[in-house]
Structures are given as structure tokens and as C-alpha cells.
Structure 1
Amino acid sequence: MKKNLEPVYYGDYLQLDRLLSAQSLQSSRYGEAAHEETLFIIVHQVYELWFKQILHELNSIIDVFSEQEVKDQQLTTVVHRLKRVISIQELLNDQIGVMETMSPQEFLAFRDYLVPASGFQSIQFKMLEICLGLKREFRIDFDKQSFYNRLEQSDRDFLENLEKKDSLFELTQKWLERLPLLEFGKFRFWELYRTATRQMLEHDEQIIRNNPTLSDKELRQELKELDNTRETFDALWDKEKFSLWQEQGQFRLSQKALLAALFINQYNEEPLFNLPYQFITCLTEIDEKLTLWRYRHAMMVQRMLGGKIGTGGSSGHEYLKRTTESNRIFKDFFNMSTFLLPKAALPELPAEVRSKLGFSLS
């Protein structure tokens, strides 16, 4: 076991002199220091430290998926690191509760001294979003226009260059497209799947039509919704319809990638699909935790500012509320539940298919 040649002192190793002296209160420059500003600074500094760790994990995962082949042992490490990111996100969400111990009036005691600084200017958070896959073209209209407006030119240049690189979303899509999960020899999973889905939807229609509690209006509405579900299923097989729905924002993943992800989800209990399933589940959970963070942040801003504009000039709560649902990344993984069949209705994988796939999915 390796040992250090010189003794290490706790405070020196963590550079505590620098860290603990990095809370410079803006309010103290104009009079008596606002007590709550220390909390405000520390909470945001802790956010930035955790953002740094999340980026450290994501960059290592992006490196793995940038290779032509993703080995199973690498996927084990990837899942482990994504679970760490999820644990950090839980801390970030809980941290909002600490911020909410500050009352609106206590915040107003120093808020105006912060203009025009804003969370918009967190370079690391923007890096995090871009690395996951939330690039400018996928943001809501207001966000697209203002995404770089409040940044210094050097930061703007850095982020624009980062946007040119493959994100984890794009790399995941390429990886899914490479997975040999669709047809093997005489086994045509998707033909069997389409038959099973037709039977399922016909069964659903009979349940609706035989429901005596529905009024005529309710019956028509439920049958209309069932027809919409049929159209969604049909889009899985129709390249033109799928492309049209992509343009409309219904799907973001490519058709081939979505079908591969669906296959993995359908057979998630199979040992050889376990790691890919965990990987997809982790990405789904990261997106969910990020959405929850946006929502809690929006609620906190409304609680602190009401209808006031943000320090950076945004519409405050209204803007944050819009980003909560709009700036999603792995929404396709959430919507896959639409296409899942009960285990009992799934076509059984032939032994030769399992043998051919083995445990290598790259």
C-alpha cells in the first residue's frame, strides 16, 4: 500500500483557509451586514461544489460512451457513478429546504445588492445541462434567446464550443442504435410484439365499451383517447410518421434507439439486459430529480419574490415554472411506459437468441 512521504494536515489538504474565507457579504459594503446573506452565499457555493462533482462523474461517463464499444464492466462503473449523481441530486433538492428557512423580508434586506447577478450565470449548471443533452435548440423559446445573454464573452465562447460536442443523450442514442436487439434468424420480435399490442388494445376497447358507468360523452372521449394511443403505437413502425412526430417534439430519440430501449425495458429481468436497464433507469431518475429541483426552485422563488422579477432580469417564478416541464432531456424514457406490455403477454425469447446475445451488448 502506497504511503505519503510528508505528513498531511487536515486544514491544508482541504484548503480551509481559502474555503472558509470565501464568503464576502455584498451588503456589508453598503452598511450593516445582512445576517441571512451568509446562508445565501454558502448554499450557492455548496451547489457549485456539488455541480463540480456531478460534472466530474458525467465527464467520465461521456468518455466511456465516446468509445465505439461499451464493455459490461464499464457499464457497471457507469451505473455506479450515475447512482452517485442521483444521491447528490437528492442533497441538492433537500438543500432548498435550508434556503427556505430564510424569510422573504430577510432576503429583501440584501437582494437588491446582487443585481444583475443571477443563477443564469452559473457556468457549471449550464455545463451540466449541456453535457446531459439540454442544448440550446431543445430549450423553451425565451430560454433559447437569453441562454448566453448574461454571460461574459469568454464563458459564452466556452459553452458554445461545449454544445458542439456529443452530449450524454446523443451518445446514449448512438449506443442504443448499436444494440443487436431486434431480429435474430427466424425470430421476429417486433412482429410478435405488434400482434400482442393489437390484442391488448382490442381488449382495452372492449373494457371501455362494456363499462356501464360511462355516459355517451365519456364513452366517445375514452374511445378517442384509445385511438390516439393506437396512433402512437403505429408511429413506432412508420418511419415517416415517427419523423413527423419527432419534428413536433413527441419523440426525441431516433426510431431505432427508442425500439432498442423499449426492448430492454420489456425484458429488464433478463440478466443480460440488467445493466442496460439500470443505465436507462438512472438517466430517467436524473431527469426526474432535475425536474423536481426546478420545480422546488420555482416554488421557493415565488415564496421569496412573489411576482417580482429576478435579479438577472427574468420574469422570476413564471420563467422557472415554464422550464420545469419544458426543459426535459430523457422524456422518451418516461413515455416508454405507453408501449410496455404485461409480462404474461410478452413473446418469449428463444434459447438460441439468448445464446447468441450472450452478455455482450456492445
Structure 2
Amino acid sequence: MKRNKTPVYYGDYLQLDKILGAQKMQSANYGDPAHDEMLFVIVHQVYELWFKQILHELNAVITVFNQDEIPDNALIEVVHRLHRIIQIQQLLNDQISVMETLTPQQFLAFRDYLVPASGFQSIQFKRLEISLGLKREFRIDFDKQSFYNRLTAEDRQILEELESKPSLFELVEKWLARMPLMEQDEFAFWQHFKNASDDCLESDKNIIENNETLSDKEKRQELKDLESTRQSFAALFDKNAYRKLNEDGTFRLNHEAMMAMLFIKQYPEEPIFNLPFQLITALTEIDEKLTIWRYRHAMMVQRMLGTKIGTGGSSGHQYLKKTTDSNRIFVDFFNAASFLLPKDMLPPLPEQVKDYFGFYKKK
């Protein structure tokens, strides 16, 4: 085991003089410092430290996927790093409870001294969003919020350059699309899937029509929603129809990637699909925890400001609330549940298919 040649002192190693000396309260510039501003500063500094670690893990994952061929064993480390990100996200979500010990009156004691600083200017958080896949065309009100106008020229350049690089969403989409999961020999899975899904949808229709607890109005709405689901199912087997739904934002994954993802989710217990399934599940959870963070942040801002504008001039709570549902990345992974079939309706994988996918080698 390698050892250091010179002794290391705890405080020097962590550079605690810099970290613990970095809490400069803005209110102190105008009189006695507001006691509760210290909490506000430390919470946000801790956020930035964790953002740095998330970006460290995320960039390593992107490097793996930014290859023409991805070794199966590389997915083990990728999934591990994604799980680490998820645990950090849980800490970030829990940290909001600490911030909520700050009352509105305590916040008002120093709030106006912070103008026009804003959480919008967290370059690390924007790097995180863009790297995951929330680029300009998928972000709500990007131009209306004039986000880039609030940044320094150096920070604008950093984000502009990142916008031109492939995000994790784009790389995972390409990886899924390369998977040969459609037809093999005489195993026509998708024809079986279509027939079985038609049966399921017809069964759902009968359940709605014969449900005596629903009013006529409720039945009409339920049937309308079911028809929308039926059209989404039909688009899976019609590339032109799928392309239209892809263009209008109903689906974000391209057709090949969507079909591969659904196949993996149908057979997650099979060895060759288990790691891809874990990867898809981890990315789903990262998106979920990011959405929870946005929601809790929006609720905290409403609690602190009510309907007041944010320190950066945005609409505060209303804008944050809007981003909760709109600024999502891996929504197709969530909505995949709409297309999954019960296990007893799935065909078992034939031996020749298992052999083709590499589950085992024939003797």
C-alpha cells in the first residue's frame, strides 16, 4: 500500500481556512449583520459543493457513453456512480428542511441586500441540467427569462460551449438505438406485443363502459384518455405516426431507442438486460429527485416570499412551480409504464434468442 512521504494535517488537507473563511454576509456592509444570513450563505455553499461532486460523477458517466462501443462491464461503474448521484440528491432535498427553519421575517432582514443575485446564476446547476439533457430547446421560457443576460461573459461562454456537446440523454438514446432487440429468427416479439396490447386496451375499454360508479361525463373523459393511450400504442408500430408525436413533444426518445427501452423493461430479470434496466431506473430516479427538489424549492420560495418577485427579478414562486413539471428530461422512462404488459402476457424468450443475446453459449 502506498504511503505519503510527508505528514498531512487535517485542516491543511481540507483547506479549512478558505472554506470556513468564505462566509461573508452582505448585511454586514450596511450595519449589524443579520444573524440568519449565515444559515442562508452556508446552505447555498453546501449546495454548490454537492453540485461539484455530482458534476464530477456525471462527467465520468458521459465519458463512458461518449464512445462508439460501450463494454458491458463499464455499465457496472456507471450504475454505481448514478446511484451515488441519487444519494447526494437525497441530501440536497433534505437540506431544504434546514433552510425552512428560516422564517419570512428573518429572510426579509437581509433579502433586499442580495439584489440582483439569483439562484438562476448557479453555473454548476445549469451545467448539471444541460449535461443531463435539459438544453435550450427543452427549457421553458428560456428566452423570456433572458437567462444568459444575467451572467458574466465567461459564464455565458461555458454554458454555450456545453450546449454544443452531447448530453447524457443524447448519448443514452444513441446507445439504446444500437441495441439489436427487434426480431430474431422466428421470434416476432413486437407482433405478439401488439396483439397483447390490443387485448389489454379492449379490456380497459370494457371496464370503463361497465363501471357503474362512473357518471356518463366521467366515462366520456376516461374513454377519451384511453383513446389517447391507444394512439400512443399504435404509434409504436408506425414510424411516421411516431415521428409526428416525437416532433410535437409527446415522445422525446427516437423510435429505435424507445422500442429498445421497452424491450429491456419487459425482460429486466434476464442477465443481459439487468444492467441496462438498472441504468434506466437510475436515470428515472435522478429525474424524479430533481423534480422533487424543484417542487420543494418552489414551495419554500412561496413560504418565504408569497407572491413577491425573486431577488433576480423573476416571478419567484410561479416560475419555479412551472419548471417543476416542464423542465423534465427522462419523461419517456416514466411513461414507459403505460406500455408494459403483465408477465403472463409476455412470450418466453426462445433458446435461440437467448443465445443470440448472449445469455449463455450452447455446448
Q: Do the structures match in fold with TM over 0.5?
A: yes
Alpha-carbon offset, residue 240 of structure 1 = 1.7
Written as runs of structure 1 = structure 2, the 5 A alignment for 1:278-289 is 278-289=278-289
1:226 maps to what in 2? 226
Written as runs of structure 1 = structure 2, the 5 A alignment for 1:24-173 is 24-142=24-142, 145-173=145-173
Q: 1:144 to 1:334 in 2, by over 3 A?
A: farther
| 1:12-70 Cα shifts (integer Å, max 9, x gaps) | 00000111000011111110000011111100000000000000000000000001111
| 1:193-219 Cα shifts (integer Å, max 9, x gaps) | 101111111222222233333443333
Q: TM-score of the superposition, structure 2-length normalised?
A: 0.97
2:139 and 2:297 map into 1 onto residues whose CA distance is 18
Alpha-carbon offset, residue 130 of structure 1 = 0.4
1:260 maps to what in 2? 260
1:20 maps to what in 2? 20
2:16 and 2:153 map into 1 onto residues whose CA distance is 31
Relative contact order (alpha carbons < 8 A, sep ≥ 6): 1 or 2 greater? Answer: 1
Q: 1:345 to 1:46 in 2, by over 3 A?
A: same
2:313 maps to what in 1? 313
Written as runs of structure 1 = structure 2, the 5 A alignment for 1:163-202 is 163-202=163-202
SS in 2 for 1:213: coil
AA aligned to 1:334 is: F
2:205 and 2:272 map into 1 onto residues whose CA distance is 35
Aligned length: 360
Alpha-carbon offset, residue 251 of structure 1 = 0.6
| 1:165-192 Cα shifts (integer Å, max 9, x gaps) | 0000000000000111111122111111
SS in 2 for 1:289: helix
AA aligned to 1:106 is: Q
SS in 1 for 2:148: coil
| Contact 1:136–1:147 (CA under 8 A) maintained in structure 2 | no
2:272 maps to what in 1? 272
AA aligned to 1:299 is: M
Q: Structure 1 unaligned runs (5+)? A: none
| Contact 2:145–2:314 (CA under 8 A) maintained in structure 1 | no
| Contact 2:117–2:311 (CA under 8 A) maintained in structure 1 | yes
| Contact 1:23–1:42 (CA under 8 A) maintained in structure 2 | yes
Alpha-carbon offset, residue 72 of structure 1 = 1.8
AA aligned to 1:99 is: M
1:353 aligns with 2:353: yes
Q: 1:351 to 1:6 in 2, by over 3 A?
A: same
SS in 2 for 1:148: helix
SS in 2 for 1:72: coil
1:239 maps to what in 2? 239
2:140 and 2:49 map into 1 onto residues whose CA distance is 27
AA aligned to 1:102 is: L
Alpha-carbon offset, residue 120 of structure 1 = 0.6
In the TM superposition, structure 1's runs of 4+ consecutive aligned residues that sit over 4 Å from their partners are 142-145
Q: 1:299 to 1:212 in 2, by over 3 A?
A: closer
1:130 and 1:224 map into 2 onto residues whose CA distance is 36
Written as runs of structure 1 = structure 2, the 5 A alignment for 1:207-218 is 207-218=207-218
AA aligned to 1:243 is: R
AA aligned to 2:325 is: E
1:324 maps to what in 2? 324
Q: 1:29 to 1:212 in 2, by over 3 A?
A: closer
Percent pairwise identity: 68
1:147 and 1:179 map into 2 onto residues whose CA distance is 38
2:287 and 2:143 map into 1 onto residues whose CA distance is 18
1:152 and 1:277 map into 2 onto residues whose CA distance is 41
1:26 and 1:120 map into 2 onto residues whose CA distance is 19
Q: 1:218 to 1:310 in 2, by over 3 A?
A: closer
1:251 maps to what in 2? 251
| Contact 1:137–1:144 (CA under 8 A) maintained in structure 2 | no
AA aligned to 1:302 is: Q
Q: TM-score of the superposition, structure 1-length normalised?
A: 0.97
AA aligned to 1:126 is: K
Alpha-carbon offset, residue 109 of structure 1 = 0.5
| 1:62-89 Cα shifts (integer Å, max 9, x gaps) | 0000011111211000000000000000
Q: 1:318 to 1:213 in 2, by over 3 A?
A: closer
2:215 and 2:102 map into 1 onto residues whose CA distance is 51
Q: 1:95 to 1:348 in 2, by over 3 A?
A: same
1:66 and 1:284 map into 2 onto residues whose CA distance is 20
AA aligned to 1:180 is: P
